[in-house]
Structure 1
Amino acid sequence: MDTVRALLDKAGTTYAEQAGITLADKPAPLYRLLVLSTLLSTRIKADIAVEAAKELKRYGTPKKMLDASWQDRVDALGRAHYVRYDESTATALGDGAQLLLDEHGGDLRKIRGGDVRAELRKFPRMGPVGADIFCREAQAVWPELRPYLDKKTLDGAKKIGLPAEPDRLAGLTAKKDLPRLAAALVRVSLDRKLADAVRTA
């Protein structure tokens, strides 16, 4: 379908890819996705949150995040201009790393098979929005989540004339491209000019 091709061409980079995360069903990349999802949950521009995730790459495991001082985390967020929420987010990242180590031995794969969204929401700053972000991206490596097309993605679909039912929408692309489709639809839901460009492509 032309609209889907145009959508993926113009906006089909996942947020994980944008943040330099090579997603795999392994503890470290899944943890980095959790950090990214936490950063994206706040009322701050997505590009700033992605840059902050890149700055925090050096603390890419829960143990490394805890070994970093609170000030180290604040400074990393500051370098990405993630400034309004830097102190509270630095605290949340430390608390989240501790929770992951205590409850799951540092391995997010242990939440698979259960209520993934409910488990994610136990982490600091991970409300419904953050859980949706994580699941949209993680469906690349956790196929049981597919198709994960939440309200934000369906809003984007409506804007460009695509079906707003998850199963119909998912049927318009290959399963492997669902995370790209979801990310692209979120972007068009937030950017009218991008939505117009996709519609007219």
Structure 2
Amino acid sequence: MNKAISAHELNIDLQGGEETALFKWLLASFLMGKRIQGAIAAKAYQVIVEQHQRDTPQKLAHCSHRQLVVMLGQAHYVRYDESTASRLLALAHKLNAEYDGKIGNIVEASADRQAFEKRLGEFEGIGPKTVEIFMREAAAVLF
């Protein structure tokens, strides 16, 4: 079993509940929620967010599928690179289109934590594991 990688280890400060930090943690949780080694998922996060500065849903949505596949490849996140690239783009587009690019707007649209988790699960590629990873640290600042 991989040791859980925390937001802090990825230099994500969730304390203020700031949108960019929440999005970065959602992105990291998304990558770690797949059946892939935690270190590789963390590296993929670093390549996408730190190296290529895709740290908002707007910036991520402006990537091409090919660019994302290349970024994932840089991190050796290769087993699911094509599907992950598609799902990351779908995540960014849905977040932008339905929630104005803000995780806080998902919270506002949800009656409670359970409703929020259900809405998160409606994003393509976000399953129970990703929700669990994200909520492990985000719940304290969101609810």
Q: TM-score, normalised by structure 1?
A: 0.62
Q: Tell me by how many angstroms 1:40 deviates.
A: 1.0
What is the deviation of 1:128?
0.7
2:97 counterpart residue number: 102
Aligned-pair distance for 1:14? Answer: 5.1
Higher Cα Rg: structure 1 or 2? 1
Letter in 2 for 1:54: Q
Given residue 138 of structure 1, which amino acid in structure 2 is its aligned partner?
A: A
Give the corresponding residue for 1:67.
62
Contact 1:65 1:94 in 2 (8 A): yes
**What percent of counterpart residues are identical?**
36
Q: Deviations over 1:12-42 (max 9, x none)?
A: x852122222224122111111111111111
Match of 2:47 among 28, 31, 55: 55
- The alignment status of 1:16 with 2:16, answered yes or no, reads no
Equivalent position amino acid for 1:52 in 2: A
* Equivalent runs, 1:152-191 vs 2, <5 Å: none
Select which of 82, 87, 105 maps to 2:82: 87
1:39 equivalent among 27, 31, 44: 31
4+ runs of 1 displaced by more than 3 Å?
none
Structure 1 residue runs of 5 or longer lacking an equivalent are: 1-10, 145-201
Q: 2:22 matched to which residue of 1?
A: 30
Tell me which residue corresponds to 1:116.
116
How much is the aligned-residue C-alpha RMSD, in angstroms?
1.6
Distance 1:137 1:14 in 2: 11
- Structure 2: distance between partners of 1:88 and 1:15: 24
Alpha-carbon separation, structure 2, partners of 1:123 and 1:15:
22
The answer as to whether partners of 1:22 and 1:29 remain within 8 angstroms in 2 is yes
How many residue pairs match? The answer is 132
CA contact (8 A) 2:5 2:38 kept: no
User: What displacement does 1:112 show?
Assistant: 1.8
